């Protein structure tokens, strides 16, 4: 006769997965080996730890994303980060000034810069 089975609370396990805890961290939380967690997952979810983790970690990702968007309302750096991640925005846009159509304004500026302007008030 072997040792009694380790009691593992499925609600706690699922919350730890939601927090993106590793197998080693979860085993440490419950005070057992990683193999015990693996066997428990197979008995409880009819799937190994990796599949169970994939299933239950999604809620944590959703919570994290929700929190990031809330922070972005007041934090420009977070808004920029999310824009880069989800909208494809970047710091150095592929804009070439030569590609901007000249409506006369650029020519006027170039002419002013190249002229011998004395800087005196008129």
pLDDT digits (tens, 9 = 90+) for 72-108: 899 999 888 888 888 888 887 666 666 667 777 767 7
- 6-45 in b/e form (b: 16+ CB < 10 A) is eebeeeebbebbbeebebeebbeebebeeeebebbbeeeb
pTM of the model: 0.62
Domain range annotation of the chain: 10-90
Q: Does residue 117 surpass a pLDDT of 60?
A: no
The number of helices, as runs of H, and strands, as runs of E, in the chain is 6, 0
**Residue 29: its pLDDT value, please?**
97
């Amino acid at each position: 006769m072997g040792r009694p089975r380790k009691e593992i609370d499925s609600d706690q396990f699922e919350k730890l997965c939601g927090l993106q805890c590793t197998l080693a961290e979860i085993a440490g939380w419950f005070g057992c080996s990683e193999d015990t967690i693996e066997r428990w997952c197979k008995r409880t979810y009819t799937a190994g730890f990796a599949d169970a983790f994939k299933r239950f970690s999604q809620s944590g990702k959703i919570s994290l994303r929700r929190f990031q968007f809330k922070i972005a309302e007041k934090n420009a750096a977070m808004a920029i980060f999310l824009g880069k991640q989800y909208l494809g925005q970047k710091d150095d846009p592929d804009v070439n000034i030569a590609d901007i159509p000249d409506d006369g304004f650029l020519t006027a500026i170039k002419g002013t810069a190249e002229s011998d302007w004395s800087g005196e008030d008129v």
